[in-house]
Structure 1
Amino acid sequence: MGSIVEGVEVWGEGVEDTVYVAVGKNTEKTQQLLHWALHNFSGKQICLLHIHQPHSLSSFLGRNLSGVVPKEHGNQSVHKLLDQYILTLVPAGVRVHKLLIEMDDIEKGIAKAIAQHNIRWLVMGAAGDGYNLGKLAKQESEKAIFVREQALLSCNIWFICKGSLICTRVYSKHTSDIETGPALLALDSNTEAKHSENMKSESTPDALKYLGILPGCFFAFLLSILKWHRYFVNSGHLSLSVGTVTGITGDRCLEHETKRIWREALKRWKDEALESWHAKEIRRTKEVEEQLAKAKQEVQKMKNQRDEILDELQMVQDENSALMNQISESQCMETELEEKIISAVDLLISFREKRDRLRIEHAHAVREVKMVRKFGKADTSSYRVEFPAFSFMEINEATHDFDPSWKIGEGRYGSVYKGLLRNMHVAIKMLPSYGRQSLSEFQHQVEVLYRVRHPNLLTLIGSCAESRSLVYEYLNNGSLESHLSRKDKNPLPWQIRISIAIYICSALIFLHSSEPCIIHGNLKPSKVLLDANFVAKISDLGIPSLVQQSLDSADTSTICNNPNECLAYVDPECFVTGKFTPESDVYSFGVILLQLLTGRPLSGLVRDMKCALEKENLKAVLDISAGEWPLYQTEQLAYLALRCCEKTWLNRPDLVSEIWSVLEPFKATCIGTPPYLTSKKLRRVPSHFVCPIVQEVMEDPYIAADGFTYEEEAIRGWLNSGHDTSPMTNLKLDHTDLVPNYALHNAILEWQQQ
């Protein structure tokens, strides 16, 4: 939008960049002038010049008025009219001024404004001559003619008629000569003036038609003729003055002589003008020919350059088309290879699933074959009898009368002691006394748990119904919680952490795929134990069913030191429904996986991980003590953990199809970790797997009367050789009967499969 500066004769800088437009009260003509000025002077300021006639307003309103029209009323109407014109220019984006001058004569007011305000550019209206193009009509354009002749020569004027340019007056040296020509014709008497006018009216059209020269030059020529003629008359060749010649119509001789002299002078002047014009035209033609030759050379040069560029462009286009063909072929090959890789990966996954399933079935089949081969058709009752059962006295001796220094843990479901039972390092869990089962029910449930075997489940060796205790294998690397809380000075490398997640996932898949489905319901880092080779095993399976204590009725103060952190592992939907589902274990697994990645406490853990993934700054939350994490694979695990921690169970991933498919590729790099990454010690055989007689890993462990376990072939050879004493204590045996140690046998098989 343009800006408007209002006021009468308020003017500032920018005269060179301002175009003045003389406007009147005729709105249509004024609009045509403004439109032409906007079209031809874009980028310049515009000033509306209006000459206000005070007396014309009084005559317009009425000559019979007794009083004089107030001056303020006239100015208001003029300003209102100028404001209307300005509003039409504002949308064009130009800066508009207005200049109002009061004077009775409009043409004199315009000339005065040009002189006072040093106007260099003026656009005004005029009437064109219908017969001569580029000429002003004398009667209709008196104001325009007056301004053209009387205005300062420094002002360039454009005369517009009906929106079209009909005439211009442009300031230059030639223009200055043209404008000053008429002023030089001021003669001493009226007779000379009349004579000059008659001569000009007779001769000027013919000369202009013949030569097309400018009027100013012709006036100079007339001036020279008149001066010569005056000299001719005064010298006596003509006895009459110019006034007498023009006044006397009867003297034919003088008139004939004057015309003859006029014709000769005009002919001589025409010849000189033609010669001068011809010379100029020859020079101009030579210049044009030279310029044309140069232009032809440049055009030819540009054509050569264009041909070279076109050749190069054609070569580039050919190369581009060849490259595009190669790219399309590469893309097709890439798509085919991707499809082949995807199909190969799917086939590999299916083969691995079949392999794992067959391995599990093979292990079960091997165990069943060995049992059938050794014991034949043993009934269920005999199998129950063979389940290792320990007396309260043995439990008491193994824990040194439940010495507090031998206590290695305490929680909601009882205390855990380290013990030496029948020369085996074991972990004895003392269940709380508020259980409601009878001894037979307790023994039956323990036997059911005894049959649940998996390499990543803590092995149940036996039980003591009297003390309501369970005997497990002892793992000397403690719990995952102690390693994450930095109680162990050696932090776990990232390979071991991911392998722990793989072990937990494998155990959960086994439990959930059993018939009926087995739910742990209390999975957290303190329930994940690590053996000497950092193989993770889940403990406390089925303990809640033995204790028969619901989550709501238990005293949360006995669970852990921080009840809020312990409850963070519990599925939020369990607090609403009161039931555990397989998805509850998935939720707990997701929280543990986040802790494995970050090593951070539970407070705000899910929120911090989400923020880190959104900002693409996963390194900020990863545990740097675990070493250099592989960022791409770690990011997959982070997204997987967050999905497991969804509050709605429907949004959590499936263990087999989604979680295991992400974790399984890590098995080759993490589970096959070199020993120096997993432990400072070399992998060694657990001492209770070794036969005391032959010092080799037992294949068929049997328990003798002294309570020690031996290889069947070795102990029978000892007894058949006539010995009735213990190979370990050298004390006499009460009897020579041997009992198979199934728990130890299964533990050895699982250890050998790792």
Structure 2
Amino acid sequence: MGGHVLSPNEGQVIYVAVGTDLEKQKLNLLWVLKSFPGASIVLLHVHVPSKWIPLLGTKIFASMASTEVVRKQRKDEKEKMKELMLSYINFCEQRKAQVRALVTIRNVALDGLQQLIKKHQIKRLVLSSRSMAKQEALLSCCQIILVNNGRHISTCGASFSSSKADPNQDEAQDQYVSALSHVWDSDECLQFDTPPNEQGDEIVKEREGDAPVAHGESGSSMKDYMHPEALRQQLDSREEEVKELRRMLRRAEEDAKLALERMASLEQEMEGLREENSEAMRENLALKTQQHCAEFSPAELRRATNNWHTSHKIGGGGYGTVYRGVLRHTPVAIKTLNPESKQGPAEFRQEVLILSKMRHSNIVILYGVCSESSALIYEYLPRGNLDERLSCKNKMPPLSASDRLRIIGEQHSAVVFLHSHEPHAIVHSDLKPQNILLDANDVSRLGDFGTARLILRAGSSEEEVCRKTNPMGTMGYMDPMFLTDGMLTPQSDVYSFGVVVLRLLTGQPALGIRERVEEGMRNGGVRQLLDASAGQWPEQAEKLVQLASRCCSMERSSRPSLLAEEWRILDTLRAMAVNRLNSKKV
């Protein structure tokens, strides 16, 4: 039968099932084009989503990954699948063939083919898979032409006929050919029989033991429809998968045992190193800070705070407690480190090293340290933090629109200054209103650099400007990509800055603010998003909402640079706000 060539027919529609191996399928497509000259080709492809999701150098089940990670993986898979199908279409079109492709998304390829055959009433199908060509579920409903490596192997299954057995069949086929011709006249060569957003993200979460049920069919009718051989193959596949998972579990248990033993040994070593290096670290820190800022004694701090009296306490959190006081005739804020805090000596030292050699009008000033008491001494800013002002704590009046726009400009300047630092850029990694402090005139200062990191700047010998580290920051403000891959970049600060800007403009809480703002913009109500309690907003504020929303894009590459020309709008707004501030002082 290998040399048999079917008669060409200009009105025919030939369905060809294709897989992911383009090179292997090219010979089979050439056979189809030669055997059916003038026929219209419809490529069928069943996209099977991967059950495994790559994450941080390993793979996990899709059901164990976060919704955002799974959605990103499915998006990447679909893009690759679209590229593959367009390559198939290209190959056929270069040979003057009319072609289009239908794609469905299923967990099992056989189920997908059954769905396409039934929905489109396919009576003849070209296959290259020998095992698939033996499936009774396919043979019972259409003719299967098996072609492998460009050779016709066999033709079997339900007989293909356009004869008188069904007088409506020719009419239905003619109508479908007309419909296909209409599609080919347009640019839509690739179509999804299952819309990508309908099943693509959820389909792999079906229970392992469940056989997918075709639309409109009950479970019992589906079991009757599937041949025992197909069910047996599915069972064999599941058993093999279970065996592999058991092997992986055994390997994981062995690795975990070794890791626990190694961890116990390392913890003993680390405890000894902590004890040996604790004093050396304090001495080293004191030496470094003496070069850049003042060293205060514990006795001075006690006198400044009336022996740490509660009346001097002005704030606190997981890192420790903040007191106000007067040191050497200067009002100061003193932050003491809580021994139980996540911010240990390393973060303490990081903040000292960064702030002690940095001066910017909108970054808090570090006056000095007390190494013995693990305390940091800053300038005193009487208006508290920006979060308290936005929530009108202690019945303070709402910040005006001009003050908010000025603060946005000030913090934009501060973050650009950090990212432009030589020779390493400084990424704050915890931008939020609680870390933005206000002086008596509501001029803002960025503080809390305990989680800041130095990274290589663009143009260095390294290929990427980023730093691998454990995710840190505050939910609602933290870059979701940083949370996913642990790569800290200046774009992580851009995301957080965008959330801060949206909070200042809208007055809304951080969690979910990007989604609410984007929904408002889609509905054409940008001005309605602006916080009415701030008073009259200039027209430019609407453009700032859109710019801040882009800063909060999920993909780093979609976020605008803080040096982009679009931010020039802040210069105008800031100048207007500064003039108003100066007029208040007069």
Q: TM-score range by the shorter chain?
A: 0.3 to 0.5
Higher relative contact order (CA 8 A, sep 6+): 2
Higher helix residue share: 1
Rg larger for: 1
Higher strand residue share: 2
Give the structure-1-normalised TM-score.
0.35
